[in-house]
Amino acid sequence: MKTAVIVFPGSNCDRDVQIALRNATDSEPLMIWHQETEMPSIDLIVIPGGFSYGDYLRSGAMAAHSPIMREVVSRAQSGTPTLGICNGFQILTETGLLPGALMRNTSLKFACCSVFLRVENSYSAFTHHYDDEEIISMPIAHLDGSFYTDDFTLTKLIDNSLVAFRYCDASGNTSKEANPNGSLHNIAGIFNSSRNVLGMMPHPERSTDPIMGRTDGARLFDALVASF
Amino acid sequence: MANSTITAELVAEHGLDDKEAEHMIEVLGREPNITELGIFSVMWSEHCSYKSSKKWLRELPTQAPWVIHGPGENAGAIDIGDGQAIVFKIESHNHPSFIEPYQGAATGVGGILRDVFTMGARPIANLNALRFGNPENNKTRHLVSGVVSGIGGYGNCVGIPTVGGECGFHPCYDGNILVNAMSVGLVEHDRIHCARASGPGNLVIYLGAKTGRDGIHGATMASAGFDDAVDAKRPTVQVGDPFTEKLLLEACLELMATDAIVAIQDMGAAGLTSSSFEMASRGDLGIEIDLDQVPLREPGMSAYEIMLSESQERMLMVIRPDRVEDARKIFSKWELDFAVIGQVTNSGRMVIRHQNTIAADLPIKPLADSAPEYDRTWVRKETSLSTPKPATEPDIDTALNLLISCPDLSSKRWIWEQYDHTVMADTVQLPGGDAAVIRVHGTAKGIALTTDCTPRYCAANAVEGGRQAVAESWRNLTAVGAQPLAITNCLNFGNPERPETMGQFVGTIEGMTEACRILNMPVVSGNVSFYNETRGSPVHPTPTIGGVGLIESLNSMQRIAIDEAGLHLILIGSTYGHLGASLYLREIHGIEDGPPPPVNLNLEQKHGSLVRSLIHRGTVRACHDISDGGLLVAVAEMSLAGGTGVTLFLPETDIAPHAFWFGEDQGRYVLAVEDKNVEPILLTCCSENIPALQLGTSGGSHISVEESFQISLADLSYKHETWFPDFMKNTDNRSVED
Amino acid sequence: MIRQPRINHGAKRLLTESYNTVKAQIHITLKTGVLDPQGKAIESALGDLGFDGISNVRQGKLIELDLTESDYGKARALIDNLCTQLLANTVIEDFAIELDD
């Protein structure tokens, strides 16, 4: 399986996801600099977390216009699995590959902690190693993670089962208390309509190693490998 | 400006006293011009020259077989085996953070990161030791909020995990908060870069952000006490740009992977002046700089302003002429400003050109060698010898509740959840334990990191306080199973021109020196911050110790959490019930008096080595050192961390119960071990003549002392966790519930 | 930036060839109905400071730039384009353009 990680100035989780992919696929991911305009045939594109362009203007806004993104959009639209994590999720919404926007956390504070997520749809290349409504745990680390969209789009996301993960408590309640950033509907991650694009605020690449005390993220990468 | 007459007032405004001014003219052989005066003033400022502290800093042990670079480089470097080295340093950014907390703290993080990656190391962790004033004081909340978001804002963006540190409160910091930032990096031995210029004809390269009129006189500002005119100094605070820092970091490391760089130094305090001066001085060479080549942010800047600007995110390097093209390619990939601004010469002089004139021409070695060094008058304060005895003592459970929720001991989750502590995916031990542990990437090794100091001990007795700060760092590293290797220090004091303050400094160095020597933990880098005083009222002496230790295999790493029932608690070390200068007296009785607990360094070494070997043998399930708040607080912290209760019994003893549970005797640890290991451990202790005492067992959901009290863990946890968020509520209220 | 943007509905005057740069100010605010945590925080802080009678605080951005386009209509169209493509996120934000000579 051939994977690629897109690197922008200010990306800072590129190396972490590179390792997670290397471990999951037993091969070396291609690190693609944002100035590139082409990429070889790729089975999975990952847009990593970080502060592309320092989060200046709006998180993800400038990266969404980097030269490589034209190619990423076209690949994603023709079905290549594409994963955006944290800043990657913000970039994907800015390109329009995913609907909505990620706004400032309602606490107005950066939030780095471990959260529980409820798997809302296990029917995708990314989530088929989880069970529906399974409760998993991953770290978050962001300032702009509050998912927002208009009512019409939100209804569409819910009706078409395009919500991938929702923040919940240890028993699976998607309560307000379990929502770390004020996201609408406790949304932590969403798919595009054909479910080959996933954007999520939590960091699966930071929960792949038993020594960190959690491995739920590894199952997402393993699921992708198993899909090929 | 170059033609301004140098008046006595102008010289005084530059912080040079009469003697120093005379000396300057002697070195130069003539009157300086204004640019030269500016250069002298920053190079001879306390901040850059360490003129009050140098004499005493020489006493600190700096050598060990594993030390690669001790003090004198941008940061210290130690060997951790396999051709790898850890590079680290701690530095203060106290004054700027008080004036503008967000930017002051942010640029503090930026500066210390540059010190580390300038050495060729990739930063892998940041820590911060923070001291604020009285929580009741309204300004304190504002400062906490700004400093914490500034540290997070910078470190999170660059993508370096902030994994630990400390945060304490005391009215002595009301007018002078302490923001001490530590950064730790990893590098292969053969990629360590130094700041020593060599090879006349090699080019001097400027890299990074453009130069503006930021922070001119920051170095002299950090060398003067605060007065009521502090607001007037506001515009001098620099603004940080973590995005540029990240680009600078990646570009430098990419270029350092080749052998293009001869020498490199970041432009920190006193900017272009001290970086160029120090590189040339270390190489015993000269340097020529053409200021017309320096990328400027504002038009019309004078030579004086360019030389003294403290704009952030800038680097100076010396590169072989044939490698400039390689450098240019890398720098333009990272979209960084880059200019050849001069060259290394063998003239031994620093020659600065600006707009077809010579703006400065100074002899380097004489200026460096003749920097002032003072043997300031000092007196030692008498230590209070008797500990006050309050008429009545509260119940043990009441005192525990109060202590666990007091500002200094309350959970600092509110702070560290604003720091990205998991980026880089190597953080093995999160904040909240004895020491943070970072995996050495791609290996089974771990690096243990901690910052420590107990300012109330230092205030009571500087020698004992200096000794204790180092010992506690050593103990915290030991408690996670690490072999302590070396320390960096940030020595925060008041005005050294006062004999009492200087006496505290001298005493602290004496205590630290002894502890470093006996515990075999040399000082490899550091920083001194004097003049932390407002209107004659200094901060407590606060020698922050940043400790680094190595865990050979993460399999033998230890945590503090008791997370299973049926474990036995064993106390290692002697308990006398020492309450002088304790947190108990301060928080429960409002008394700050008495001698601090003495540290017996030989016993410290003996007890710690035993604990470490027990951990390595795999016979320990949880371990915590005993410090602030004493034994019962330590046990409660272990219990809270793992969510499992404990039942304790008070052994037969002459010590009063409150002194037994809350005394702060040094050199002690609490171990939680399985049933089968209790006897072997007690036997080992007995044969090595180390005091060991069974305290009780784990289980249930309460902390209880037989026949005395029982506290629900949930209640205690609630108290422990809510003090900080409640304290910050007024700022947090500004966030919204939708 | 707390004030509402002044929206410049028409040309102050026709720009001619003799002016080769135009200064533009772009005001970006969150759409009505989109939660603005920063605006609310400012409002609450103003209340804490004792300023009464203040409501509907919205925080936005002000972007200033110079343009070499001298034709007013073209300049406006160009900035409109800049805004929809990059400067504003029209999912959550509105923008208003103001041109000065």
Can you tell me the ipTM of this complex? 0.96
Closest CA relative to residue B348, chosen from B367, B320, B373 = B367
Q: Average of pLDDT values for B221-229?
A: 50
| A interface with C, Cβ–Cβ below 8 Å | 57-58, 61-62, 65, 93-94, 99-101, 103-106, 108, 146, 148-150, 182
Kindly state whether C41 is in contact with chain A, defined as any CB-CB distance less than 8 angstroms.
yes
3-state secondary structure of B670: strand
Distance CA B161, CA B126 (A): 6
- Cβ contacts from A onto B, under 8 A: 94
- pLDDT greater than 80 at residue B164: yes
* pLDDT tens by residue, C41-74: 888 888 878 888 898 888 899 999 999 887 888 9
- Choose from B158, B416, B417 for mutation: most chain A CBs within 10 A: B417
Distance CA A154, CA A185 (A): 9
Looking at residue B367, its pLDDT comes to 85
Kindly state whether B554 is in contact with chain A, defined as any CB-CB distance less than 8 angstroms.
yes
Is residue A205 part of the annotated active site? The answer reads yes
Closest CA relative to residue B52, chosen from B393, B395, B504, B457 = B504
Question: Of the residues A13, A142, A168, A205, which is catalytic?
Answer: A205
CA distances from A75 to A31, A70, A222, B401 (A): 16, 9, 22, 59
Chain C residues with CB inside 8 Å of B736's CB?
35, 37, 40-41, 44
What is the chain A residue with the closest CA to C30?
A103
What is the chain C residue with the closest CA to B736?
C37
Chain A residues with CB inside 8 Å of C91's CB?
93, 99-101, 148-150
Per-residue 3-state assignment (H helix, E strand, C coil) for C39-87: HHHHHHHHHHCCCCCCCCCCCEEEEEEEECCCCHHHHHHHHHHHHHHHH
Chain A residues with CB inside 8 Å of B734's CB?
108
- pLDDT greater than 60 at residue B227: no
How far A177 CA sits from the closest chain B CA (Å)? 11
Q: Do B733 and C37 touch (CB under 8 A)?
A: no
Looking at residue B4, its pLDDT comes to 56
Looking at residue B732, its pLDDT comes to 53
CA distances from B417 to A4, B202, B738 (A): 31, 46, 22
- pLDDT greater than 60 at residue B223: no
Q: Domains, chain C, ranges and CATH?
A: 11-100 (3.30.1280.10)
* pLDDT tens by residue, B602-613: 999 999 999 999
What is the chain B residue with the closest CA to A59?
B157
Distance CA B77, CA B187 (A): 9
Looking at residue B224, its pLDDT comes to 54
Predicted confidence band at B729 (pLDDT cuts at 50, 70, 90)?
confident
Chain C residues with CB inside 8 Å of B730's CB?
48
Q: Average of pLDDT values for B682-687?
A: 96
What is the chain C residue with the closest CA to B734?
C41
Q: What is the DSSP letter of B598?
A: P
- Choose from B122, B126, B157 for mutation: most chain A CBs within 10 A: B157
Q: Average of pLDDT values for A136-162?
A: 97
What is the chain A residue with the closest CA to C41?
A108
Q: Do B736 and C42 touch (CB under 8 A)?
A: no
- pLDDT greater than 90 at residue A103: yes
Kindly state whether C32 is in contact with chain A, defined as any CB-CB distance less than 8 angstroms.
no
- Kindly report the CA angle at B354 between B351 and B360, in degrees rounded to 5? 35
Looking at residue C41, its pLDDT comes to 82
Strand positions, DSSP E, B364-473: 427-429, 436-439, 446-452
Chain B residues with CB inside 8 Å of C45's CB?
734
Q: Do A182 and C85 touch (CB under 8 A)?
A: no
How far A53 CA sits from the closest chain C CA (Å)? 13
Looking at residue B233, its pLDDT comes to 40
Annotated catalytic residues of B are 47, 93
- pLDDT greater than 70 at residue B632: yes
User: Across chain C, what does the average pLDDT equal?
Assistant: 79
Looking at residue C60, its pLDDT comes to 92
- Classify domain A3-227 by CATH number: 3.40.50.880
Helices and strands, number each (H, E), in chain A:
5, 11
